[in-house]
Amino acid sequence: MVPESIQSTITKLHNEGFQVIVAGGLAVNVHGFSRVTLDADLIVRESDRESVLNILRDLGFTERGTSKVATRLSHRSHLIPFLDLLWTEEATFDVFLQEAITTSPNCKTLALPHLVAMKIHAISQRQDRLAKDSEDIRWLLKQNSSKISFNDYQLLLNRFASEENMSYLRGLYPSAH
């Protein structure tokens, strides 16, 4: 589930007219694999970047790092984990939003296929993510194998996996292929 501290931040953004989608470890938890996460990942439209950051600053968040695709923030209370904002193009965000699942009022969570795709892509970009993200993928597929067929998983691998990780990631699928 989404912790109350993050839920209240999402609600504030929603009340200000901005939509966000829960991703990362919190989304993994929503999809059935309970694990500890040290941050909250929210997908946000790139076009909302400055407005959302201004609202979060007013709520007591401080930027800790930023890149073209993400911004990490911390909260002055330290009761809220790191907040990672993942900046996404409008069209991609709209697809994610349309297929997202509603987990509580004003809170949408990334749909399972998109979450698995993000995990595969993260591994292809940073090899140091292999252990943690492949464990997430293994459990997500095990808990939800009726929701992602092997063929659909293979399509995700073909699109997002690096060649060096392809056979290892293919082996994470829980049933005989």
Prediction pTM value:
0.92
Model confidence pLDDT, tens digit, residues 119-169 = 999 999 999 999 999 999 999 999 998 899 999 999 999 999 999 999 999
What CATH number matches the domain at 1-110, 3.40.50.720, 3.40.50.300, 3.30.460.40, 3.40.50.1100? Answer: 3.30.460.40
pLDDT at position 99? 96
Instruction: Please state, in angstroms and rounded to a whole number, the distance separating the CA atoms of residues 175 and 177.
Output: 6
Where do the domains of the chain lie? 1-110, 111-177
The distance from CA 97 to its chain's CA centroid, rounded to whole angstroms, is 12
Mean of pLDDT values over 10-35: 94
Instruction: Please state, in angstroms and rounded to a whole number, the distance separating the CA atoms of residues 118 and 67.
Output: 17
Question: Is 42 in a helix, a strand, or coil?
Answer: strand
